[in-house]
Every structure is written in structure tokens, then in C-alpha cells.
Homo-oligomer: A and B are copies of this chain.
Amino acid sequence: MLRIGPPTPGSAEPVERADAARNRALLLDAAQQLVREHGVAGLTMDALAKRAGVGKGTVFRRFGNRTGLMLALLDHSEQKFQAAFMFGPGPMGPDASPVERLIAFGRTRLLDIEVEGDLHRAAEENGGRFGDGPYSLHRAHVVLLLREAGVAGELPLVADTLLATLSAALITHQLAVSGYTRAQIGDNWEWLVRRVVSGAAHVE
């Protein structure tokens, strides 16, 4: 475990906790890389230990089992996504226009789903898709952007439609069965966003 400087009295525990958090994040970044390269099937406790250069025991201690690792990875990926759309640079973050941000929100989500689709789909199927924390946050964010773009519809319902278009179950079906590419699905997303905001300049 990497220590930054020697522990000083009373500070040992916080330093250890910060180390643990950083090590955890490094492990999860390695796990994300593995999934990007080999799909979800390539993510095993063994492969992760090898990739991260740690003992297998460390990986088990940290995540319990493969399901625990998957959940941690999903959470890690979700946190990165949230940080990007709330505080990140353009086109997802606050510097860009609301329409650019909506478009980037969808295209980034599509990339996550293409790479980690099985993870996201499993999370959706674990009931409560619409009630859970991430969904509420995504919906609030999309409502905010629609309002900033001047859309006059019933915004939470419009946001539900946009987010339904990005559901992992639907996207993985479009990729795997309907035979669309991520670029085509992304272009459709952009088309849809532009249609939804198209009446925004008019009073309805």
C-alpha cells in the first residue's frame, strides 16, 4: 500500500482510508480496462489481480466475489458519468449549450452501455429501475437541460422518453439483434433531441 509520507500522530487512520480509496479506484480502473478490452466475460477476479499487479487475496478482500466486483464497477462507472455531466468539461459539462449537453449525455451513455451493457442491463432488471438513485438524478438533469433549452412540454415525461431510449436493454438489443452500430444509434439520439427541442422557440 503506498503511503504519502510517514504517519503523524492522530493522522494514521485518515491516511490509510485515503490510500484504501485510491487503491480501490485503481483496481476499478483496471477492471474497466479489462471490460473494454475483453467484454464483461473477461472480468474475473484472477484477471483483475494479474492486471492490477496485486495478489488474488487482495481482490477478494476488497470485493468479496465477482458479483461484488461487478456492482462496484457499475457504481464506479456511474460516478464517473455523473461527474462528467454535472461538473465535467464540454460538451457534457456546464460550459456547453443545453442541446449540446443533451446530445453528449446520450452519446456518452451509449458508449458505456456498448462496453458494459451486461452490467447495466443486470442493474435495470434488479427491479426499481425508475425509482433508483441514478435514474432520478439522470431525469432531474435531463429536465434541467430541456428547461434551459426552452422546451414547453411536460418535462419529466419528456425526460422519461429520452431516458427510455437509452435503456441498456433496448440499446443492447439494437446493437446485438437489430444490427445497428453505436454511431447510428447515437445519430438517432441526436435527431430525437433536435426534434424534441425543435418547437422550443415558439409558444405552444
Interface residues of A, Cβ cutoff 8 Å to B: 125, 129-131, 153-154, 156-158, 160-161, 164-165, 167, 169-170, 173-174, 177-178, 180, 184-185, 187-188, 191-192, 195-196, 198-199
B198 touches A154 (CB 8 A): no
Majority SS at the chain A contact face: helix
CB distance from A169 to the nearest CB of B (A): 7
Residue pairs across A and B with Cβ atoms less than 8 A apart, 15 shown, are: A129-B169, A130-B169, A130-B173, A130-B177, A131-B173, A154-B180, A154-B184, A154-B187, A157-B174, A157-B184, A160-B165, A160-B170, A161-B165, A164-B165, A164-B170
B195 touches A180 (CB 8 A): no
B199 touches A178 (CB 8 A): no
User: Which residue of the partner chain, among B125, B160, B178, contacts A174 with CB atoms under 8 Å?
Assistant: B160
Q: Which residues of B contact A184 (CB under 8 A)?
A: 154, 157
Please give me the residue from chain B that is nearest to A130 by CB atom: B173
Given the complex of chains A and B, what is the CA–CA distance between A157 and B156 in angstroms? 22
Check A161/B192 contact, CB under 8 A, given A154-B187, A184-B154.
Answer: yes
Please give me the residue from chain B that is nearest to A187 by CB atom: B154
CB distance from A177 to the nearest CB of B (A): 7
Interchain residue pairs A-B with the least CB separation, the first 6: A164-B164, A157-B188, A130-B173, A161-B165, A153-B191, A154-B188
Given the complex of chains A and B, what is the CA–CA distance between A167 and B170 in angstroms? 11
User: Which residue of the partner chain, among B153, B161, B177, B199, contacts A161 with CB atoms under 8 Å?
Assistant: B161
Q: Which residues of B contact A154 (CB under 8 A)?
A: 180, 184, 187-188, 191
User: Which residue of the partner chain, among B157, B170, B196, contacts A195 with CB atoms under 8 Å?
Assistant: B196
